[in-house]
């Protein structure tokens, strides 16, 4: 196994794990602290916990996709390629859904 593959797996696991941790914290606390302020500038304070919960769930899906992408590198080539494509599509879908939640609550993505 190539050292770059192992390094890629470790990097994806760490980055995805950090994203998952931030998402879990956001869902648990109901705080939008990890979002940029322009993502919630138009959201009333009473509605921010709902924004944190909904966007945190999709953020968790994003983190899980990143972690799984790293582990997919350890699989044999044809399986890794197919799984990688599926996970990248799922990653983009999770990011789009996160943005959609922000737009629904904030009125726009950038305040």
Q: What is the pLDDT of residues 10-37, one digit of tens each?
A: 999 999 999 999 999 999 999 999 999 9
pLDDT at 50: 96
Q: Is residue 111 part of a domain?
A: no
Q: How far is CA 98 from the centre of its chain?
A: 8
Of 73, 95, 97, 96, give the one whose Cα is nearest residue 84. 73
How confident is the model at residue 3, as a pLDDT? 80
Q: What is the mean pLDDT of residues 54-69?
A: 97
Number of domains in the chain: 1
pLDDT category of residue 93 using cuts at 50, 70 and 90: very high
> Burial, 58: exposed, middle or buried (Cβ in 10 Å; 0-12, 13-18, 19+)?
buried
Q: In 34-76, where does DSSP find H-type helix?
A: 48-72
| pLDDT beyond 80 at 1 | no
Closest to 68 (Cα-Cα) out of 19, 35, 22, 101: 19
Residue 67 placed within a domain: yes
- Does residue 15 lie within any of the structural domains? yes
- Confidence band of 109 (pLDDT split at 50, 70, 90): confident
Cβ(87)–Cβ(68) under 8 Å?
Answer: yes
Does residue 43 sit within a domain? yes
Confidence band (pLDDT; 50, 70, 90) for 110? confident
Confirm whether 57 is domain-assigned.
yes
Domain span holding position 97: 3-106
Asked whether residue 11 is assigned to any structural domain, the reply reads yes
């Amino acid at each position: 196994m190539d050292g770059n593959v192992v390094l890629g797996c470790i990097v994806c696991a760490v980055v995805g794990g950090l994203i998952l941790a931030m998402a879990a914290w956001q869902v648990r606390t109901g705080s939008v602290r990890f979002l940029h302020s322009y993502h919630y500038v138009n959201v009333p304070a009473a509605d921010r916990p709902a924004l944190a919960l909904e966007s945190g769930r999709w953020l968790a899906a994003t983190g899980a996709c990143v972690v799984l992408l790293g582990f997919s590198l350890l699989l044999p080539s044809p399986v890794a390629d197919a799984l990688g494509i599926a996970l990248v599509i799922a990653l983009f879908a999770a990011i789009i859904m996160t943005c959609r939640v922000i737009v629904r609550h904030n009125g726009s993505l950038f305040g």
